Structure 1
Amino acid sequence: MNLSDQLSLTARENLAKTAYVFNGEETNYQTLEGSVTKFASSLQELGYQKGDHIALVVGNTPHFIIGMYGALRLGLTVIPVNPIYTADEIAYILNNGDVKGVITLDVLMEKFEKMDKMFPNIEHYIVGETTPDYDVNQSSLSERSFSFTKLVHGGSLELERPMLHDDETAVILYTSGTTGKPKGAMLTHKNLYSNAKDVAEYLEIGANDRVIAALPMFHVFCLTVALNAPLVSGATVLVVPKFSPEAVFQITKDFNATVFSGVPTMYNYLLQYPNEDEKDFSSIRLCISGGASMPVALLEKFEERFDVRVSEGYGLSEASPVTAFNPLDRPRKAGSIGTNIVNVENKVVDENGNELPPGEVGELIVRGPNVMKGYYKMPEETEASIKDGWLYTGDMARIDEEGYFYIVDRKKDLILVGGYNVYPREVEEVLYSHGQISEVAVIGVPDPNLGEAVVAFVVSTDESVTEEELLELSKEKLAKYKVPSEIRFLDELPKNTTGKILRRSLKEQLATQ
């Protein structure tokens, strides 16, 4: 079984049931199933065939749902991309990912027009209309541009589906790597389907649930927990185009939402929302937190204010993503990521791969049908990450006597800004590209709103270099959440006897100021 076939099965059993809600408009499973098949057939007419790669550069709209499931139905490999990425970031993914076509939105076409020459292999732009007066023929890329709506409406329901095998790549998720360049985690049909099904079972998501999708759909957390798991279960997805406390409370009230998932920053914003009259979460039975460790004080305040359970979990792109969650059949433990979900094993090991007893800290490794097949075109990185079937997460953790896991420290030097991963090396390389910078060290510092903020320490060979010009360079080359909130100039960076920069000393320096 795979996501595409499961959607067809769910649709046959729930034709009139609402599959998703967008901007107040409900779309049932029968309509969604038809749109997916017709979009797949139109892609086939354009020359796409099993194994081709197609990028999905859209936000939280029906275009994402129909686009992804339609591409999967035809056996294509889908590469979701953050729409706010810069030209350089998008170009790297499209070129490295051997992308043939791009599904995007009309509001993003001006960006693609400007940077089209950066990826010469793109054959088609499939443009989702968000405004009624948009015309793909007005684009400078009109010869290669096609209307998403017309492809759906003009497609055929008579599609000869290719055979999809469990171990074939369905999605490639690009995740930041310590080398400074993103790595493409290849997730198979089995990876995605098994994790969606197992998460739905573990969190008891059923046909009567209405799940809020306020996290970005291109992010694996939302993709599995708030999109695939509900659709596998015949539930309803409540699509929030862009997160805001007001939007979440409104859609909860209008459609009696039952499940909300978010990163800790979102919970903080919901808790701090000033309009008390609109803060109604009474229909919500379960809140799911992930993406970053949730402060225990915030968790407890949220549960007390809204009288709802908040269950933390753990996952990573390479595991589709979920490996652990606080179980619903017993009390949740604040500060814990929970226990193994169905069919997935977590284990804490020492440097030699030996399992450690409860209480001792080691690296968290995971095994299960959800673990990726490897990194795209990166065999050495794959071999270093997957050993004897176990995925080495790089996160330090411990387990207690009852089988609950606790993340003790994050991946070395990883910075989490609002739930997004920022690796220092990527930011450092951009600052180094200035030409007048001899040393750079980027660290994360606590931030009350985003969890962490990015701070850069630099040593310049030219005293005229300013913080403003380095920030402008960062904004040009990096997504907004990766841009340093502050850049500090030093005469030299602290180092140990081998010349390695001591990031801890820099953090201590900030803490004492």
Structure 2
Amino acid sequence: MIRQRVLDVPATARTLGSIARHKAEKNGDKIYLRFGKREISYRAFHEITNRLARGLQQLGVEAGQHVAFMMDNKPEQLLLYFAIGKMGAVSIPVNSAAKGDLFAYYLNQSDSVVLILDAGLIERYQAIEEQCPNITKVILLNEAGGAVDLSIGKDLRAEVYDYQALLDAPADDLPDDLARISDFAIMMYTSGTTGPSKGNMVPHGRLIGGAIDHVEIFGYQPDDVLYTCLPLFHGNALNTSAIPAFLADATFVLSPRFSASRFWDEIRENGVTAFSLLGAMVNFLWAQPESPRDKDNKVRLCMMVPVPDFAREFEKRYGVKVTSVYALSDYGFITFLSPAHPPAKWKSAGLPATGMTISIRDDEDNPLPPGVPGEICARCDVPWITSLGYYKMPEATVEANRNQWFHTGDRGYLDEDGYLYFVDRKKDAIRRRGENISSYEVEQIVLGHAAVEDAAAYAVRSEMSEDEVMVSVTLKHGATLDPADLIRYCAKNMAYFMVPRYVEILPELPRTMTEKVEKYKLKESAQARLNEIWDREAAGIVVNRHTN
């Protein structure tokens, strides 16, 4: 493994709480977090998270309990991760686009007892409160800052509090023994394919250990500025930018959301030296008109997942170095493509992470030789640097870890030098604009429509070479259905990014002898005649985060 910086992190500083205290003592008033005009130093970050943790304790929240929060990108989200971790509780980040049955599922499956959310999202919770009896406290955050008018929650069964009031608690340190490196710190949901989304139990050790790997392999220095516009309720923003910047004694810049037209201006304005891009984000930036200012930036490293064919041209155009990783919310970081790796390996996902072993296996779990694609499997001999399993899903945990290997559900191959090359996903998941979408969840919600008898959701490729959601449905006898009506139904009951773009009504779905839908047949047929299929964008129906 190629190392570019060796971190001196005490063995006692391997939890979110202990690392916050360690970095506050080391870096003091140096700016850690920047969000627009807001700046928070390392010392202030530690003190604020102490206050939040103690404020939650004063409300009766205890170690081991699960605290959900749902909000758009803002410093409070990152502060809550650390505060909840400090008190030995578990963070449940909820996608801010979730609504209806999906929102209720996250809260119930995670056993959350407290919900913290942007005040502007309260109607989302009011609509499902009767489905969520375990939520006893709702804490509202004023998106514009300042106090919240708590009367907006007067009709809730749960007790309602103001987030700002939590900050009145003392700022003194919490006891060290509330959290250990092996303790469950964060639940990250991943898309289900043969069932509902699974909650990945992420220990403190994985959060800190993965960040140490990032800093050492990519050589992040105290004068670096790491940037993300990806949502903090996803693992990428947290684990490739926010926490690595913290471990590197660097500055972390958080943006509300991705904008291709504003992206490079933000990079220049903040003096960014490293950032991460997912999926079609790269395509959108590449499609922007060339400008004399393209190389007018301080960026050293640009992480792309996956690495596109035009990565070399991207490097030349913007004057950056492309890096990559192969990682899963279900497990952790498996490989890193370092800037020091041979140029000939630029299309790979790099070499195994610390303590990681990779094996490519066939459908019978037999190992395959270099160059032959199969399922990517991994195992690690470093304690607590991978996920602990799926919450309340022991069978799925055992299945994923069969024969002492974690099975990723992805296909790839190793070359003769041990570099990993990603080929495709075995999992029946859809990835749209950086969002992982469970086809199962789309199907379950579509099946709730009164006219629908059966449904199959799957990915088709769009103009930007990324996944778009398509659904094929059959109708109940005598029923009729306008595709636009189905879209409106979906928009009310699922996150906006899950809402299908393409809808096709069929007399029947192709099935195997065991009654499983043959989605590959649907996909092949649809892809070949996509311009003939009903398309909500062509129909002029707009679905976004503001759609009611």
TM-score by structure 1 length? 0.93
User: 1: distance between equivalents of 2:45 and 2:100?
Assistant: 32
Q: Which residue of structure 1 aligns with residue 279 of structure 2?
A: 264
Q: Deviations over 1:14-37 (max 9, x none)?
A: 102111101122211111111111
Q: Which residue of structure 2 aligns with residue 323 of structure 1?
A: 334
Q: Which residue of structure 1 aligns with residue 481 of structure 2?
A: 465
Q: Which one-letter code corresponds to 2:463 in the other structure?
A: P
Q: Deviations over 1:247-295 (max 9, x none)?
A: 43233212210001011311222223348366555201000122xx343
1:342 paired residue among 329, 333, 354? 354
Name structure 2 gaps, 5 residues minimum.
1-13, 530-548
Q: Which residue of structure 2 aligns with residue 312 of structure 1?
A: 324
SS at match of 2:416: coil
SS at match of 1:310: strand
Output aligned runs, 1:145-294, within 5 Å.
145-274=160-289, 276=291, 279=294, 282-290=297-305, 293-294=306-307
Deviation (angstroms), 1:317: 0.6
**1:302 pairs with 2:317:** no
- How many residues of Structure 1 are paired with residues of Structure 2 in the alignment? 509
Q: Deviations over 1:191-244 (max 9, x none)?
A: 222112112222222222110021111101111011111112211110101111
Q: Which one-letter code corresponds to 2:496 in the other structure?
A: K
Higher alpha-carbon deviation: 468-477 or 356-365: 468-477
Deviation (angstroms), 1:464: 2.1
Cα RMSD (Å) of the superposition?
Answer: 2.2
Q: Which residue of structure 1 aligns with residue 372 of structure 2?
A: 360
Q: Deviations over 1:466-488 (max 9, x none)?
A: 21222122222221121110111
User: 1: distance between equivalents of 2:439 and 2:110?
Assistant: 23
Deviant stretches of 4+, over 6 Å = none
Deviation (angstroms), 1:99: 0.7
Higher alpha-carbon deviation: 234-243 or 279-288: 279-288
1:28 paired residue among 37, 41, 48? 41
Structure 1 residues 96 and 409 mapped into 2: Cα distance closer, same or farther (>3 Å)?
A: same
Q: Which residue of structure 2 aligns with residue 50 of structure 1?
A: 63
Deviation (angstroms), 1:103: 1.9
Output aligned runs, 1:423-502, within 5 Å.
423-449=438-464, 451-460=466-475, 461-462=477-478, 464-496=480-512, 499-502=515-518
User: 1: distance between equivalents of 2:234 and 2:265?
Assistant: 23
1:508 paired residue among 524, 536, 539? 524
Q: Which one-letter code corresponds to 1:345 in the other structure?
A: T
1:88 paired residue among 84, 94, 101? 101
User: 2: distance between equivalents of 1:400 and 1:178?
Assistant: 29
SS at match of 2:177: coil
Structure 1 residues 255 and 437 mapped into 2: Cα distance closer, same or farther (>3 Å)?
A: closer
SS at match of 2:377: strand
Deviation (angstroms), 1:337: 1.6
User: 1: distance between equivalents of 2:451 and 2:71?
Assistant: 37
User: 2: distance between equivalents of 1:455 and 1:171?
Assistant: 32
User: 2: distance between equivalents of 1:36 and 1:356?
Assistant: 48
SS at match of 2:174: coil
SS at match of 1:26: strand
Q: Which one-letter code corresponds to 1:262 in the other structure?
A: L
Name structure 1 gaps, 5 residues minimum.
none
Q: Which residue of structure 2 aligns with residue 129 of structure 1?
A: 142
Structure 1 residues 101 and 207 mapped into 2: Cα distance closer, same or farther (>3 Å)?
A: same
Q: Which one-letter code corresponds to 2:180 in the other structure?
A: H
Q: Which one-letter code corresponds to 2:375 in the other structure?
A: E
User: Do the aligned residues in 1 keep the contact of 2:375 with 2:412 (CA within 8 Å)?
Assistant: yes
User: Do the aligned residues in 2 keep the contact of 1:428 with 1:441 (CA within 8 Å)?
Assistant: yes
SS at match of 2:54: helix
Structure 1 residues 343 and 157 mapped into 2: Cα distance closer, same or farther (>3 Å)?
A: same
User: 2: distance between equivalents of 1:244 and 1:126?
Assistant: 30
Higher alpha-carbon deviation: 264-273 or 481-490: 264-273
Q: Which one-letter code corresponds to 2:349 in the other structure?
A: I
User: 2: distance between equivalents of 1:89 and 1:124?
Assistant: 20
Deviation (angstroms), 1:161: 4.2
Q: How high is the sequence identity, in percent, across the aligned residues?
A: 28
Structure 1 residues 66 and 512 mapped into 2: Cα distance closer, same or farther (>3 Å)?
A: closer
User: Do the aligned residues in 1 keep the contact of 2:99 with 2:124 (CA within 8 Å)?
Assistant: no
Q: Which residue of structure 1 aligns with residue 545 of structure 2?
A: none
TM-score by structure 2 length? 0.88
Structure 1 residues 390 and 157 mapped into 2: Cα distance closer, same or farther (>3 Å)?
A: same
User: Do the aligned residues in 2 keep the contact of 1:296 with 1:334 (CA within 8 Å)?
Assistant: no
1:401 paired residue among 411, 416, 421? 416
Q: Which one-letter code corresponds to 1:419 in the other structure?
A: G
Q: Which one-letter code corresponds to 1:344 in the other structure?
A: M
Higher alpha-carbon deviation: 157-166 or 182-191: 157-166
User: 2: distance between equivalents of 1:128 and 1:450?
Assistant: 38
User: 2: distance between equivalents of 1:289 and 1:75?
Assistant: 34
